[in-house]
Structure 1
Amino acid sequence: MAQVNAIARGTIALLPQLAVAIVVLVVTALFVALASRLAARMLARTRLRPSLQSLFVTLISIGLWALGISIALVIVFPTLTPAGILAGLGLGSVAIGFAFKDIFENFLAGIIILFRKEMRIGDFIECEGLEGKVEAIAIRESHIRQTDGQLVIVPNSVLFKNPLTIRTDLDQRRTTVICGVAYDEDVDQAREVITKAVKSCDTVISDARPVQVFAQEFADSSINFEVTWWTGSKPVDLRRSRDQVVAAVKRALDEAGIEIPFPYRTLTFKEPLALNRAGASDTADDS
């Protein structure tokens, strides 16, 4: 009973300090909200990317909250000094670091990614078999929208530790299709017809980037050409351009009378085969 009374008297004695600490936390919340808005407005006037602006606002908020909570702790526990708080944070950070290793790893990876200039919101990327458009870059995770509409939430450590392909780093991107012509056709004429057909497409960038058509190989039924050109870097740009180029090349080869062959297969028999005509066998049976 004496212990309960002592705890009650100690709690009552701390009520003024607790009230002041609560006021400090409320003031801290208001100050953080005001400072965040002010920082967001100031950063909006700079050339920083929106994701990087959000990072700075978040770090400012975390710093102000840490300061406000430290002041509130000192008010409630007057014997607690700033040095003691820092020492406690040091010991606690080690324990928290081991317990939440993955979270802190993603947090640090997110900060590094946000400072990168190469990956921006709106870019199309590919990483570890995942391909899509970057919709958001947060502190811990990034949101990737696949071309089929599905949203994938990727931990930032995955994007940081693995090879990352940014498909829209440039506005233009090269693409290739294979076109085969029959062995009886003139190779130089076929190359010229294919080149003109590709250049006639409006999705093909042929002014600054060359259209390249190379005879690639002697295939089973055709001589294959590697047809390469430049177009937009987005996935839909590549699909639209391939569709247009394939249709234009097919049309041009047909108009020029150049054959696009079907696969041929030659069968060789070591021993001669006896061929019987159906009509002859029927006549023999009737006689």
Structure 2
Amino acid sequence: MSSTFSDVKTMEEHFINTWDKLVDKLMGWIEASILILPNILIGLVTILLFYWLSKYLQILLNRILKNIIHHSSIRNLFTNILSIGVFVIGCLLTLSILNLDGTIKSLLAGAGVAGLAISLALQGTLSNTFSGIFISIKNEIQEGDWIESNGYLGRVVEINLRNTKLKEADNNIVILPNTMILNNPLKNYGLTHRYRATISCGVGYESDLERVRELTILAIESIFPSQGIDEEIEFYYKEFGDSSINFIVRFWVDAKESKQAMQVESDAIMKIKSIFDENSINIPFPIRTLIYQQDRPI
């Protein structure tokens, strides 16, 4: 009986000791919370302040870059990086205020390893991204420009961080990775507003060549009179062809895309043909003459 009473008393003392330790632990936590409460409030104010600062700097940087980088997707990349960077600094400062320096070191180490792994996995994507940034900063291509690159000809309808989209003359969309545009030859019709058109033609051997020259230049001047200071209508005879004496005429017009250039050349050809017809200038076509021998041996 005494043994049973002793066991109960031991259990009671063990329970009391456990309860006292639990109460002491809770009181320690409460005291620590009261002591760290000012730091929590300062940390909360700090992270809210840095969040507001990140958004304000994002808007400010976007306004500054609008005159430098015309593509919204590229501008958003820079502004988002700045906003995230400022907010991360605020988070690290808040952890420091809360005396969590060990957590900061662990986060920085983990971020370094994760960044290395991500950069290796996304090497091609990052290459296109940096190519897109470089293209945007250089302003060599703008949305709406008519360009020719990698065998494709069309209007630029979008430039983003990964690729450039072209709309061809047949309305098909071509998506070119930015690295292909940056690393290959590119013809941008939008970089200059003046286009030098070239028309090739031929006249009959019986023609007055000086008269042909005068009429051709007159035809061009009648529809494209605005030749600049260092620009002129050039006329050159090139060769004695099989059926004609061939020449080229070159002149300058306002054109920033392939469609305008084709329209200009079409108008010039129609005008030259019209003025040649009015002045009886022959534009011959190849003729094949067959000769039959009458007295051919059988």
- The partner residue of 1:110 within 132, 141, 144 is 132
- 1:91-126 CA distance string (max 9 Å, x none): 333322221111000011111111113322322111
Q: d(CA) in 2 for partners of 1:130 and 1:28?
A: 47
Q: d(CA) in 2 for partners of 1:143 and 1:115?
A: 18
- 1:159-208 CA distance string (max 9 Å, x none): 11111111221110112121111111122211111111111114x64243
CA shift at 1:38, angstroms? 3.5
C-alpha distance 33-130 of structure 1, shift in aligned 2 (>3 A):
farther
CA shift at 1:217, angstroms? 1.6
- The partner residue of 1:247 within 251, 254, 270 is 270
Q: d(CA) in 1 for partners of 2:263 and 2:149?
A: 24
1:61 aligned onto 2:84: no
CA shift at 1:239, angstroms? 2.0
Q: Which runs of 5+ in 1 are unaligned?
A: 1-12, 276-287
Segment of structure 1 superposing worse, 217-226 or 69-78: 69-78
| Alignment map for 1:122-133 (pairs within 5 Å) | 122-133=144-155
Larger Rg: 1 or 2?
2
TM-score (norm 1): 0.74
C-alpha distance 25-250 of structure 1, shift in aligned 2 (>3 A):
farther
- The partner residue of 1:137 within 150, 159, 169 is 159
Contact (CA 8 Å) 1:28, 1:68: kept in 2 or not? yes
C-alpha distance 122-80 of structure 1, shift in aligned 2 (>3 A):
same
Q: d(CA) in 2 for partners of 1:150 and 1:168?
A: 20
Q: d(CA) in 2 for partners of 1:25 and 1:151?
A: 46
Match of 1:206 in 2: 227
Match of 1:48 in 2: 68
Contact (CA 8 Å) 1:25, 1:69: kept in 2 or not? no
Contact (CA 8 Å) 1:124, 1:131: kept in 2 or not? yes
Q: d(CA) in 2 for partners of 1:260 and 1:225?
A: 11
Q: d(CA) in 1 for partners of 2:276 and 2:138?
A: 47
CA shift at 1:49, angstroms? 4.0
Contact (CA 8 Å) 1:28, 1:64: kept in 2 or not? no
Segment of structure 1 superposing worse, 32-41 or 109-118: 32-41
Contact (CA 8 Å) 1:141, 1:153: kept in 2 or not? yes
Match of 1:197 in 2: 219
Match of 1:216 in 2: 238
TM-score (norm 2): 0.72
CA shift at 1:29, angstroms? 6.8
The number of aligned residues is 252
Q: d(CA) in 2 for partners of 1:140 and 1:23?
A: 38
Segment of structure 1 superposing worse, 114-123 or 31-40: 31-40
Contact (CA 8 Å) 1:125, 1:133: kept in 2 or not? yes
Identity, % of aligned pairs?
A: 27
| Alignment map for 1:1-287 (pairs within 5 Å) | 32-44=54-66, 47-51=67-71, 55-69=74-88, 75=95, 79-82=102-105, 84-202=106-224, 205-208=226-229, 209-231=231-253, 232-267=255-290, 272-274=293-295
CA shift at 1:70, angstroms? 6.8
**3-state SS, counterpart of residue 55 of structure 1:** helix
CA shift at 1:144, angstroms? 2.0
Q: d(CA) in 2 for partners of 1:24 and 1:102?
A: 38
Q: d(CA) in 1 for partners of 2:280 and 2:269?
A: 17
Contact (CA 8 Å) 1:70, 1:85: kept in 2 or not? no
CA shift at 1:31, angstroms? 5.6
CA shift at 1:150, angstroms? 2.9
Q: Which runs of 5+ in 2 are unaligned?
A: 1-28, 34-40
Q: d(CA) in 1 for partners of 2:150 and 2:109?
A: 41
